[in-house]
Amino acid sequence: MSLLSLFSALSRPANSPPLRLPLFAHPVRAGFPSPADDYVCDTLDLNEHLIPHREATFFVRAKGLSMIGAGIQDGDLLIIDRSLNPVHRAIVIAVIDGEFTVKRLYKRGGKIRLLAENPDFSPIDLQEGQELQVWGVVTSVIHRLRP
Amino acid sequence: MSVFALVDGNNFYVSCERVFNPKLEGRPVVVLSNNDGCAVARSAEVKALGVKMGMPWFKMQDLARRHGIVALSSNYELYADLSSRMMSILGRYAPEQEIYSIDECFLGFDGFQRYDLMTYGHDMRQTVRQWVGIPVCVGFATTKTLAKLANHCAKKGLTGAEGVCDFTRLNEQEIQELFTRIPVGEVWGVGRKLAERLEERGIAHVDALRRSDAKVLRREFSVVLERTVAELNGVSCLGLDEIAPNKQQIMSSRSFGKYLHDLEPLEQAVASYMAIAAEKLRRQQSKAGLVQVYVRTNPFAEHLPQYQQGLSAPLPEPSDDTLRLIKVARWLLKKIYRPGYAYQKAGVVLMDLQETASLQRSLFAHNPDNERLMEVMDRVNAVWGRGTLRCATEGLQKEWSMKREKKSPNFTTRWDELPEAY
């Protein structure tokens, strides 16, 4: 463990309660304190923004390049909300042969397919009688720009 | 009239494993206790193969090979996370909730008037299944004991509907017909021994117990059984315990992965258990006034010399400081340690717990707890996992630690162990 990561852990509170960042209602100015400082509006919580259903939300690590066209890159963090119904065109985590796969769901004209967003990958067609198990609906991708 | 529900997860630990490992679906799966000892959870397929609860792993090796049983070490971090999600969802369905164990809770619908409970139960089932992936069963009735029994019926499909059973819809004749089919041992609080004694008296099924003279049972068995009979007759004696009270004592004990003979590894184990107990103590914001340590050999290894001993010591001032508590524990251990034995288990107990906020500091206290250090330690360990920052007494290589060779990743609580999708 690096010393740097040790320090970054110390700056985070134990049991990670929501991280609240104050949002000020006016631009920051140096010098004389603004009387508007009394009007701090609210705090922003990323959890609140990204996770409406806490109990149903899970994180999954994306692997490979099959969904590159949808902006999902190798190693990205996917936010999954299992409370949502998998509708046509939703990006989902599905179970194929006991493994998780992330694909776009196609449901039209009695046909169900899983589509990759990369021409190098062919669509997965469901055979007659084969049941598609959708594990959850992907709601966001978190792509880090620096490690 | 009040209505209670008992909701519980089916084969909970196995179901948790299956959420993140769909390959386990339809296969015989057991989850093993600490040290991969014996079965603590069984899938329906394993039950069908005749594997009993508590069966030691080494005794099913043969069966496992023949039927491809998958054995997993218990992954309590995963189970606890999925449990809290499940409980939180269920808590929204009722004004009152008592979390009874990791996989079951009572719900109280006091004053809920004649809502269609069956529909309500199916909705709970469906939601927990979809949101968390855990199958649950729901039993409704007018007392907690009956709700527990209704849950049993839901699980066994005794009343038809899949996974939900509502006793309040059944008339007296249907109840009687149903209860004569359920052995008395299925009643909440009637253990195997008690069931045998009741059977000897001709009370073999639930209907017979329900019709027994409660006063006589009280005289010959216990007041608890009298209350059970009242509850079976729809007289609610047990209310919901909503707020889990702070623990009155905190225990941390484990069997070792192998026998320990020397003082040093024992000290490491005791220090580690104390670290865990102290962390729990701080989490409930209490301090301990009394520390106990105990060790014992394996009582089942009759060919080995046997020894067991425990010792406790009061603290000059209540403490929640891991370092101070470990110091006391080591001192106690040295007092009870005897060479020449094969130790199998050790444990620490924190007692005389007092809320930190209400404590008065003694006038002569010269060595207050290192609160800052403890806070840092808890933070570091919350991020990187228990034991990342620990007292050197706990040792670097935990040669004594539990065997959990077949544990699944902590899919929901560690960033570096998330499930992957291609």
Pair B297, B309 in one domain: yes
Domains held by chain A: number: 1
Decide if A104 is inside a domain.
yes
State whether A101 and B422 contact (CB < 8 Å): yes
**pLDDT surpassing 70 at residue A34:** no
Of the candidates B259, B157, B31, B415, the residue with the CA atom closest to the CA atom of residue A8: B415
- Looking at residue B363, its pLDDT comes to 55
Any CB–CB contact under 8 A between A121 and chain B? Answer: no
Do residues A92 and A138 lie in contact, with contact meaning Cβ atoms separated by under 8 Å?
yes
Mean pLDDT in chain B? 88
Burial of B234 (0-12, 13-18, 19+ CB in 10 A): middle
> What is the pLDDT, as a whole number, of residue B189?
86
Provide the domain limits for residue A113: 3-12+55-142
Domain holding B24, by residue range, is: 12-78
pLDDT, tens digit (0-9, with 9 covering 90-100), for B33-90:
877 778 999 999 999 999 998 888 888 888 999 999 999 998 988 998 999 999 999 9
Shortest CB distance from A55 goes to which of B25, B132, B422?
B132
Least confident of B69-73, B107-111, B259-263: B107-111
A8 among known catalytic residues: no
Q: Are A112 and A103 within 8 A, CB to CB?
A: no
Residue B79 has φ and ψ, to the nearest 5°, of: -65, -40
Assigned domain for B415 exists: no
Which residue out of A63, A83, A103, A122 is catalytically annotated? A103
Q: How far does Cα B148 stand from its chain's mean position?
A: 17
Same domain, B205 and B258: no
- Residue A130 has a pLDDT of 74
Whole-number Å distance between alpha carbons of B153 and B85:
25
Q: Are residues B33 and B147 in the same domain?
A: no
Task: From chain B, pick out residues whose CB is under 8 angstroms from the CB of A133.
Answer: 22
B155 and B225 housed in the same domain: yes
pLDDT score, position A18? 52
Strand order in the sheet with B308-319: B250-260, B343-355, B286-297, B308-319
Burial bucket for residue A95 (CB in 10 Å: 0-12, 13-18, 19+): middle
| B45 in a structural domain | yes
Cα B12 to its chain centre, rounded Å, is 11
Which of A5, A7, A19, A55 has the most B C-beta neighbours within 10 Å, making it the best mutation to test the interface with B? A55
| B331: in domain | yes
pLDDT of residue B300: 78
Is some CB atom of chain B closer than 8 A to the CB atom of A116? Answer: no
For the domain that residue A75 is a member of, what is the CATH number?
2.10.109.10
- Burial level of A21, CB count in 10 A (0-12/13-18/19+)? exposed
CATH of the domain at B334: 3.30.1490.100
Q: What is the pLDDT of residues B311-339, one digit of tens each?
A: 888 888 889 999 999 999 999 999 999 99
Of B22, B23, B376, the CB nearest to A10: B376
Q: Is the same domain home to B50 and B146? A: no
Residue A16: per-residue pLDDT: 45
Between B9-18, B44-53, B345-354, the lowest mean confidence (pLDDT) is in: B345-354
Identify the top-confidence range among A71-85, A106-120, B184-198.
A71-85
DSSP 3-state of B194: helix
Asked if residue A76 belongs to a domain, the reply is yes
Q: How confident is the model at residue B364 (pLDDT cuts 50, 70, 90)?
A: low
- Residues of B engaging A, defined by a Cβ cutoff of 8 Å: 21-23, 25, 85-86, 88-89, 127, 130-133, 375-376, 378-380, 382-384, 388, 411-412, 415, 418-422
Backbone angles phi, psi at B61, to 5 degrees: -50, -45
What's the whole-number mean pLDDT along residues A107-131? 88
In 10 A of CB B279, how many CB atoms? 19
User: How many angstroms separate the CA atoms of B208 and B213, rounded?
Assistant: 10
In a shared domain, residues B185 and B265: no
Q: State the catalytic residue, choosing from A66, A107, A111, A140.
A: A66
Of residues B141 and B311, more confidence is placed in B141
Amino acid B106: pLDDT: 94
pLDDT confidence of residue B258? 85
Q: Residue B137: is its pLDDT beyond 60?
A: yes
CB B405 within 8 A of CB B36: yes
Among left, alpha and beta (phi > 0; psi -120 to 50; other), residue A2 is beta
**Taking 50 as the threshold, does the pLDDT of residue A137 lie above it?**
yes
Over residues B405-422, the mean pLDDT reads: 91
More confident of the two residues B175 and B113: B175
Model confidence band, residue B23 (pLDDT cutoffs 50, 70, 90): very high
Assess if residue A23 is contained within a domain: no
**Would B163 be classed as within a structural domain?**
yes
User: Quick check: is B189 in a domain?
Assistant: yes
CB contact under 8 A, B89 and A9: no
Question: Which DSSP helix (H) or strand (E) runs through B349?
Answer: strand B343-355
Range from A5-9, A18-22, B110-114, B203-207 carrying the lowest mean pLDDT: A5-9
Considering A103-107, A126-130, B248-252, the range whose residues carry the highest mean pLDDT is A103-107
Q: Is residue A26 part of a domain?
A: no
Q: Which of B197, B277, B179 is nearest to B233 (CA)?
A: B179
Question: Taking Cα atoms as reference points, which of B385, B387, B381, B373 lies closest to residue B417?
Answer: B385
Tell me, what's the pLDDT at B354?
Answer: 82
Please give the torsion angle defined by the CA atoms of residues B287, B291, B295 and B300, in that order, rounded to the nearest 10 degrees: -70
Q: What is the mean predicted confidence (pLDDT) over A25-53?
A: 69
Are B151 and B111 within one domain? yes
Other C-beta atoms within 10 Å of B397: how many? Answer: 8
pLDDT band at B362 (very low <50, low <70, confident <90, very high): low
Taking the CA of residue B214 and the nearest CA in chain A, the distance in Å comes to 44
Does residue A108 fall inside a structural domain? Answer: yes
Distance from CA of A8 to the nearest CA of B (A): 10
B91 and B38 in one domain?
A: no
Indicate if B93 and B184 belong to the same structural domain: yes
Query: For B242-257, what is the mean pLDDT?
Result: 74
Assign residue B18 the CATH number of its domain: 3.40.1170.60
Count of domains for chain B: 3
B47/B112 same-domain check: no
Higher pLDDT, B1 or A19: B1
Q: How far is CA B169 from the centre of its chain?
A: 32
Q: Does a structural domain hold residue B393?
A: no
Structure tokens at A74: 């190798």
Question: Nearest Cβ partner of B131 from A63, A83, A102?
Answer: A83
Alpha carbon separation from B342 to B58, B256, B331 (Å, rounded): 21, 11, 20
- What is the spatial distance between Cα B79 and Cα B40, in angstroms, rounded to a whole number? 13
Q: Which of A14, A64, A101 is facing B382, going by the closest CB pair?
A: A14
- To the nearest whole Å, the CA of B375 is away from the closest chain A CA by 8
pLDDT tier at A53, thresholds 50, 70, 90: very high
Angstroms from A38 CA to nearest CA on chain B: 32
CA distance linking residue B110 with residue B123, whole number of Å: 19
Share of chain A above pLDDT 90, in %: 55
Subunit contact A63:B89, Cβ cutoff 8 A: no
Cβ atoms of B41 and B12 closer than 8 Å: yes
Q: Indicate if the pLDDT at residue A15 is higher than 80.
A: no
Inter-chain touch B422–A77, beta carbons under 8 Å: no
User: Which residue of A58, A63, A78, A79 to mutate against B (max B Cβ within 10 Å)?
Assistant: A58
Residue A55, min C-alpha distance to chain B (Å): 5
Q: Quick check: B286 and B248 in contact, CB under 8 A? A: no
Instruction: Summarize the confidence of residues B240-262 as an average pLDDT.
Output: 77
Most confident by average pLDDT, A22-26, A112-116, B223-227, B405-409: A112-116
CB contact under 8 A, B388 and A10: no
Closest CA in chain A for residue B381: A14
- Comparing CA positions, the residue from B253, B224, B417, B261 lying closest to residue B346 is B253
d(CA B295, CA B390): 22
Note whether residue B53 is domain-resident.
yes
Distance (Å, whole) CA B226 – CA B214: 5
Cβ-based neighbours of A21, under 8 Å, separated by 6 or more:
A43, A44, A45
| Chain B residues near residue A10 by CB distance under 8 angstroms | 376, 379-380
**Interface contact A12-B384, CB threshold 8 A:** no
Amino acid at B365: A
Our CA-based measurement puts residue B84 at a distance from the nearest CA of chain A, in whole angstroms, of 8
Q: Which two tokens stand for residue B397?
A: 């290589």
Q: Are residues B220 and B329 in the same domain?
A: no
| ipTM summary value | 0.75
Residue A67 resides in a domain: yes
Q: Is residue B112 part of a domain?
A: yes
Record the tokens describing residue B65, joined without a space. Answer: 């090979």
A111 is catalytic: no
CA distance A93 to chain B (A): 7
Residues B259 and B175 in one domain: no
**Chain B residue whose CA is closest to A116:** B422
Instruction: Note whether residue A43 is domain-resident.
Output: no
- Chain B contact for A142 (CB, 8 A cutoff): no
Evaluate whether residue A22 is within a structural domain.
no
CB contact under 8 A, B379 and A10: yes
Picking from B205, B233, B261, the residue at the C-terminal end of a domain is B233
Chain A residues touching residue B415 (CB < 8 angstroms): 59
Q: Please count the residue pairs, one from chain A and one from chain B, whose beta carbons lie less than 8 angstroms apart.
A: 83
Place A7 in a pLDDT band, splitting at 50, 70 and 90.
Answer: very low
| Closest alpha carbon within chain B to A66 | B422
